[in-house]
Amino acid sequence: MGGLKGLAEEIATGLDRAAKETRLRLEMGETARVLRVGKGVAAIAGFSELRAGELVAFPGGLHGMATDLDGREAGVVLLGPSDEIREGAAVRRTGRVADTPVGPALLGRVVDPLGRPLDDLGRIDAAARRPVDRPAPPIMHRAPVSVPLQTGIKAIDATIPIGRGQRELILGDRQTGKTSVALDTILNQKDTGVVSVYCAIGQRAASVVRVIATLRDAGALKRTVVVVAGGEDAPGLQYLAPYAATAMAEAFMEHGTDVLIVYDDLTRHARAYRELSLLLRRPPGREAYPGDIFHIHARLLERATRLRPEHGGGSLTALPVIETQAQNISAYIPTNLISITDGQVFLSPALFARGQLPAVDIGRSVSRVGGKAQHPAYRAVAGDLRLAYAQFEELETFARFGTQLDAETRRTLERGRRVRAILRQPERDHLSVAEQIAVLLATTEGLLDEVALERCAEAERAIRQRVRRDPDGLAARLATEAPLARADREALLDGLRDALASAGLVDRAGGDHGHP
C-alpha cells in the first residue's frame, strides 16, 4: 500500500508541476464547412465575415481564394489539387489576400504564382510580399511612351516599333512562332538593363523547359523571373499566374527599372477563367465566357505603363500572346485584347508555310505608339517601308496574271522581293540598332537591287560585318537617339558599297556580280 501511495503522490506532484509550467492560450478564429467540391472550386458556408480575394485554408495546407460571396455561401477558387478535400471539412480564414514575394531575390528563379520555387535551388529570401491583384497606376502618375524597346527583329523594330511602357499583342494561329518572337525580345534585353518576366500559363512542361534552357544558354536567365502555372496545374493557379507575375514586375518598375513581361498565353488564361466561372455557376455569355472576361484582362494590362520620375520612373512593357483559330481575329478573346492593347504583331500561317520567318504580316500588324517610340534614324531609312511593302504585295499579286509590266513596275517588284528577303531572320539572331539601320538603308537605297535574290543573306552578313568593325565610330552614333545626319548617311552608304564590293556581290562601279 505504501508503494502505491508514494506512486500516487509522485504522479500528483508531476501533474501540479506541469500545470504550473503550462501557459494556457486561448485562440479565437472563424471556421466554416465545405458544402460542395468541384474540379478546382469549392463552396463553403459558416463565415460571418469574409473579404473578396481573401485566402482560406483547407486541411492539408491547401489554400483557396474567395471570389463569389453572398449571404448563404462563398465560392472559393482552389490553388491546388482538390482530391483531398471532402464535404464537411473545416475551413479557416487566414486574414490576408493572395500575395507573392517580390524583389531581386526572384531573378534567375522559376516559381509558381504563389512564389514557391520550382527549380530546386532552395528557398527564396524575398524582401517583401505584395498582393497579386493591385490597382493600375493613376493617369497622372504615367509618362508618355517615347523610349524604344528594341526586339532585335528587323520586321518589328523597323515597321511596328514597340516602346517601353507599351502593350503590344502577339497573335497568330498555333505553331506560327509567337513564343519565338517573345523569347527573342527577352533575349535582346540581355545587355540593356531591362528586367524580364516570362509568365507561362497552361503550357506543356516540355515547352516551358525548352524556354528556360534557351534563357539559361543565352545568359539571360539571371535577369529574368519565370512564373509557371502549367497545363497540369489547378485552373485557379493558371488564373492567378499573370497577376502574380505583374506584381513581381511592378516591384522592379517602381524602383526605376524598365521591365518586360510576356504572358504566354492569355488564351489559356481565358479558358481557365471560363472553366472556373462555369463551375462557380456564373451565367455564361458569348462563347461561354462570362461577361467580366474583358474586365479581368483590362485590369491586368492597364498595369503596364511608364511612370513619371517622381513616381519611380520605371516602365512595364507587356507582350501578351494569344492564339487564333484559322486566323479569326474577330473572335471574342482576340477582339477584346486588340481593343485593350496599343497594337498587335500578327503572325501569318501562310508566311510561316512559305518560310518567311519571322512570319510577321506587316499589313495586318500595327503599333499605335508608332514613331514616337522609335529612333529617328529608323524613320529616315524606313519611314515609308510599310506603305512601299504593301504596294509591292499588291503589285506581285497583279503580276501573277502574266500581265506585261513596264520597267518601273519591274524595278518596284525587284526591290520589294529584296525587302522581303532582308526581313527574313533566323531565331536568336538579333541585330543591333546600327546593324538594322545599315541593312535597311542599303535595301531602301537600292544597293541590293543588283544582288541576286538568293545572295541577299550573304549581302546582309557583309553589311553587318562592316558595321561591327565601325572604323569611323559611325555605329555608336547610329545607336543614339539623334537623327541621321546627311554626312553620316553618305559615309554609311559609301562604306556599304565597299562592303558589298569586297564581298564580290557588286563592283564599285555598280555592276552586277551577284547573278551567275
Would you state the cell numbers that stand for residue 258, as one nine-digit string?
524598365
DSSP label of 333: H
Catalytic residues: 368
Phi/psi at 477 (nearest 5 deg)?
Answer: -70, -35
Cβ atoms of residues 246 and 130 within 8 Å: no
Q: Give me the amino acid identity at 92.
A: R
DSSP label of 432: -
224-229: strand order across its sheet: 110-111, 224-229, 195-201, 258-264, 315-323, 169-172, 343-347, 366-367
Partners of 262 in beta bridges? 198, 319
Instruction: Report how far residue 139's alpha carbon sits from residue 43's, in angstroms, rounded to the nearest whole number.
Output: 38
Which residues touch 476 (CB under 8 Å, ≥6 apart)? 434, 470
Partners of 111 in beta bridges? 117, 227
H/E element, 19: helix 2-21
Instruction: Report how far residue 128's alpha carbon sits from residue 99's, in angstroms, rounded to the nearest whole number.
Output: 10
Partners of 322 in beta bridges? 171
Residues in the chain: 516
Q: Is 357 helix (H, G, I), strand (E, B) or coil?
A: coil
